[in-house]
Amino acid sequence: MRLRGYDTLSVQPPRFRVRFAVMPTHLFGMAFCGLQVIPGNGQGSPIRTIYSCEAPPGTTWTIDSVGVAFFTPNPCRPSQGTGGAEDSLALIIDGVPAWFDTGYYSTPPAGLFGDWLYVTPDAVTPTQRKSWGKLKSHFR
């Protein structure tokens, strides 16, 4: 898992878009066939709610009744060594810092591999979406 950054979507209620990538090569060049993202409380982070997700065309996402997000590419993405990786995934959550346990699915019979994603306020620079005019007036 590789954190790409996060954006502040709103402050009331708090909503953050956490952008991340799945790089299959760390699993010995196996294909990427699915990912589950489970809110956790690692590093003292409170458990965060996943409100929505984003994925590129060809990858579907769902959130189950207990708040676990699932990303499913169709077809499976080849290993990065052969040109494939899923690098445009995002979670919409209610706060930072945040910890997520993840389960990476590859082609059978490989099964499930565990990993984690930790989002800290100082790991990346948060941005709040504003118009160019509002940004210019803020810094004058």
Q: What is the pLDDT along the chain (140 residues), one digit of tens a residue?
A: 677 778 888 888 889 999 888 765 555 567 788 889 999 998 888 999 999 999 999 999 999 999 999 999 988 877 665 544 677 899 999 998 999 998 888 776 666 777 888 888 765 444 445 444 544 444 44
Q: Domain limits of the chain? A: 2-138
2-138 classified as CATH 3.30.310: no
What one-character-per-residue DSSP string does 69-83 give?
EEEEESSPBPPGGGT
The answer to whether 112 and 101 are in contact (CB under 8 A) is: no
Closest CA to 42 of 92, 117, 94, 121: 117
d(CA 51, CA 67): 8
